[in-house]
């Protein structure tokens, strides 16, 4: 009986240790992305400020060779939306930035690359850049300016991510 209790106690301890280790490794991944993501978003904000552009910036990291899940962060630079003007309806710049990122996640090409017609939900606009890091796929997207400005802002964020991940 004593031997059974000892074996059971050891089994319970092993399970507790395994659960504790999985919690630690799950907590390490966001922390390892959080610092470079914050720096990348700061670089994107600085570039947007230089260009006098407001909008929404996002960065994402997907481990591996394809995108099945990712960690991401966003930052509003000035304004998340553009109000309607004249005959134009308003724009949700954050939604557009995520649409650019979704297109890149599917194609692994910069947004608006024209490698295929945009799917429903995609805008097909320039402004997002994608690259490969040491262990996965890096995505940066900005929406709020002209396409070439959005690309320039996104490249500033991707450069920071690439140096870290």
Higher pLDDT, 32 or 34: 34
Q: Is residue 24 part of a domain?
A: no
CA 154-42-27 angle, to 5 degrees, is: 100
Per the structure, the complete domain to which residue 140 belongs is given by: 29-164
Q: Is residue 4 part of a domain?
A: no
What is the distance between the alpha carbons of residues 142 and 125, in angstroms, rounded to a whole number?
A: 11
pLDDT band (50, 70, 90) for residue 31 = low
Among candidate residues 146, 147, 129, the one with its CA nearest the CA of residue 138: 129
Q: Is residue 99 part of a domain?
A: yes
Q: Is residue 1 part of a domain?
A: no
Q: Domain containing 119 — which CATH number? A: 3.30.450.150
pLDDT, residue 32, reads 85
Q: Is residue 44 part of a domain?
A: yes
pLDDT band (50, 70, 90) for residue 4 = very low
Q: What is the mean pLDDT of residues 66-88?
A: 95
Whether pLDDT at 89 is above 80: yes
Q: How many domains does the chain have?
A: 1
Q: What is the mean pLDDT of residues 100-123?
A: 97
pLDDT band (50, 70, 90) for residue 144 = very high
**pTM, to two decimals:** 0.81
pLDDT band (50, 70, 90) for residue 11 = very low
Q: Is residue 20 part of a domain?
A: no
Q: Is residue 18 part of a domain?
A: no
What is the distance between the alpha carbons of residues 68 and 66, in angstroms, rounded to a whole number?
A: 6
Q: Is residue 17 part of a domain?
A: no
């Amino acid at each position: 009986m004593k031997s059974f209790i000892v074996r059971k106690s050891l089994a319970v301890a092993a399970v507790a240790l395994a659960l504790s280790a999985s919690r630690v490794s799950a907590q390490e991944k966001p922390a390892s992305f959080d610092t470079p993501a914050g720096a990348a978003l700061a670089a994107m904000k600085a570039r947007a400020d230089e260009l006098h552009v407001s909008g929404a910036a996002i960065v994402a990291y997907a481990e591996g060779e394809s995108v099945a899940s990712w960690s991401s962060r966003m930052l509003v630079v000035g304004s998340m939306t553009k109000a309607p003007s004249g005959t134009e309806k308003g724009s949700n710049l954050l939604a557009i930035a995520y649409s650019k990122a979704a297109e890149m996640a599917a194609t692994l090409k910069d947004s608006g690359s024209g490698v295929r017609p945009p799917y429903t939900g995609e805008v097909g606009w320039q402004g997002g850049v994608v690259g490969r890091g040491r262990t996965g796929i890096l995505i940066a997207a900005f929406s709020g300016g002209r396409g070439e400005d959005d690309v320039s802002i996104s490249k500033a964020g991707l450069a920071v991510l690439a140096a870290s991940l």
